[in-house]
């Protein structure tokens, strides 16, 4: 069953240029749906349109198969968590959490039951009498989440709720929000510009850019089969390495950025035209260390990042800087010349003019574990 459906929804403030253009999507009940894109792509505007805080210019918005375009936010049976928490500074944690229930005139005994359950779930039981100024950023975030949860609304909207937190707390809160969503069976629409949050939290991701949907699907699909060069560069950390590529006259080699020669010796590329220019992309983990007979290229390292569990190496290909990601710790210095292995099967091919995917890479596979 679809909890939310948008049918050709558009948003324009001046009736000429569109912030969002003909957005068509369906969000299932109980789904964790992530809207991701750069600043100004229209993702927060779309969320506010679903909430009823922004007027829809064109198209239809359905919640539980009912058109709600002209319904006020209070009648849409949803909750929302804002980026800046939006807590009342003069109220205690308890009063902030219960504010919406007071407004809806929920019975006091029911309010108390929900408060105790939610406070315990969110780890706020000892903080109920404090004011927001006495809380840390993570605690304020949990209060904002608790206010949303206590409403027991089946649909929860979140607008970059973790952007003000430090990296460690952000990682912890990602897990807590995901667990909470599954435990309560909420349908959650989550807006972020952080592709790591999108990849780790979403059942499905919609990538927006300039008011248009770039791709919609499961996180691993967007990572392995990006629909275009924008998605390829936006999804993944580090971003996909990109470069212009042409086959040589014989068609037996691919020349990337005019200098990196890769043998075109794979049956997986027989369908590719040899007389056109492409944009090619390769994930950092697919540039591997060359061992003896497996060496295909030598590179000059221009930067090394030791992250403890992995090592990032940067090198130049023409005008582009590419990054390789190797698992573990490697004793490599800037200026070292090191062997690598590159396969044409590791490359994604994109149309040079449109940026659309022509052929996805054919290396790597999703491993399965049998749960017991």
Q: How far apart are CA 30 and CA 51, in angstroms?
A: 17
Sign (positive/negative) of CA torsion 244, 250, 251, 253? Answer: negative
Q: Exposed, middle or buried by CB within 10 Å (0-12, 13-18, 19+), for 168?
A: exposed
Total-model pTM: 0.89
β-strand partners of 281: 242, 348
Burial of 47 (0-12, 13-18, 19+ CB in 10 A): buried
What pLDDT, on a 0 to 100 scale, did the predictor assign at position 100? 87
Q: Is the dihedral of CA 11, 4, 235, 199 positive or negative?
A: positive
pLDDT for the residue 170 = 83
Can you tell me the distance from the alpha carbon of 156 to that of 171, in angstroms, rounded to the nearest whole number? 20
With left for phi above 0 and alpha for psi between -120 and 50, is residue 251 left, alpha or beta? Answer: left
Provide the 8-state DSSP code for 233.
H
Contact (Cβ atoms closer than 8 angstroms) between residue 207 and residue 234 = yes
Which pLDDT belongs to residue 3? 92
Residue 194 CA to chain centroid, in angstroms? Answer: 6
Q: How far is CA 16 from the centre of its chain?
A: 30
Q: Does residue 139 sit in helix, strand or coil? A: helix
CB 210, CB 20: distance < 8 Å: no
53: which DSSP letter? S
User: Domains (ranges, CATH) in the chain?
Assistant: 2-227 (3.40.50.300), 238-359 (2.40.50.140)
For residue 75 the two structure tokens come to 């009648």
pLDDT tens for the chain, residues 1 to 372: 789 999 999 999 887 788 999 999 999 999 999 999 998 899 999 999 999 999 999 999 999 999 999 999 989 999 999 888 889 999 999 999 999 898 888 899 999 999 998 898 888 999 999 999 999 888 888 898 899 889 888 999 999 988 877 788 788 888 888 988 998 899 999 999 888 899 999 999 999 999 999 999 999 999 999 999 999 999 998 999 999 999 998 888 999 998 899 999 888 898 899 989 999 999 999 999 987 777 889 999 999 999 999 999 999 999 999 999 999 999 999 999 999 999 999 999 999 999 999 999 997 666 677 777
User: Could you identify the residue written with the tokens 């949050």?
Assistant: 197
Cβ neighbours for 109, distance < 8 A, ≥ 6 positions apart:
none
Read out DSSP for 153-196?
-SEEEEESTTTTS-HHHHHHHHHHHHHHHHHHT-EEEEEES-HH
C-alpha–C-alpha distance, residues 366 and 372, integer Å: 19
Q: Are 156 and 78 contacting, i.e. CB atoms less than 8 angstroms apart?
A: yes
Which pLDDT score is estimated for 365? Answer: 62
Judge if the upstream peptide bond of residue 238 is cis by omega within 30 degrees of 0. Answer: yes
Which tokens in the block code for residue 277?
Answer: 């220019």
Alpha-helix residue ranges (DSSP H) falling in 202-327: 219-224, 229-234
What is the per-residue pLDDT for 104?
84
């Amino acid at each position: 069953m679809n909890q939310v459906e948008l049918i050709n929804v558009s948003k324009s403030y001046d009736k000429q240029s569109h912030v969002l253009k003909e957005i068509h999507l369906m969000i299932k009940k109980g789904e964790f749906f992530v809207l991701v894109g750069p600043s100004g792509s229209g993702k927060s505007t779309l969320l506010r349109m679903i909430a009823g805080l922004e007027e829809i210019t064109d198209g239809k918005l359905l919640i539980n198969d009912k058109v709600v375009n002209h319904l006020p936010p209070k009648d849409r049976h949803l909750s929302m968590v804002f980026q800046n928490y939006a807590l009342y500074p003069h109220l205690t944690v308890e009063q902030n959490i219960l504010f919406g229930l007071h407004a809806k005139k929920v019975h006091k005994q029911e309010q108390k039951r929900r408060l105790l359950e939610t406070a315990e779930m969110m780890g706020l039981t000892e903080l109920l009498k404090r004011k927001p100024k006495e809380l840390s950023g993570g605690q304020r975030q949990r209060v904002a989440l608790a206010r949303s949860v206590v409403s027991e609304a089946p649909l929860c909207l979140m607008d970059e709720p973790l952007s003000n937190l430090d990296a460690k707390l952000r990682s912890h809160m990602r897990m807590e929000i995901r667990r909470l969503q599954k435990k309560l069976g909420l349908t959650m629409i989550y807006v972020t510009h952080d592709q790591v949050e999108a990849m780790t939290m979403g059942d499905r991701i919609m990538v927006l850019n300039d008011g248009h949907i770039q791709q919609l699907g499961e996180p691993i699909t967007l990572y392995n089969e990006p629909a275009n060069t924008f998605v390829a560069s936006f999804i993944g950390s580090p971003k996909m390495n990109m470069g212009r590529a042409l086959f040589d006259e014989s068609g037996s080699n691919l020349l990337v950025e005019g200098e990196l020669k890769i043998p075109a010796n794979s049956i997986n590329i027989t369908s590719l035209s040899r007389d056109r220019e492409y944009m090619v992309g390769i994930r950092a983990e697919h540039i591997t260390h060359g061992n003896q007979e497996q060496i295909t290229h030598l590179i000059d390292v221009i930067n090394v990042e030791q992250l403890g569990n992995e090592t990032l190496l940067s090198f130049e290909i023409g005008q582009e800087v590419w990054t390789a990601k190797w698992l573990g710790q490697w004793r490599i210095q800037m200026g070292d010349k090191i062997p690598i292995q590159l396969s044409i099967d590791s490359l994604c091919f994109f149309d040079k003019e449109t940026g659309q995917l022509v052929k996805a890479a054919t290396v790597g596979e999703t491993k399965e574990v049998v749960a017991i």
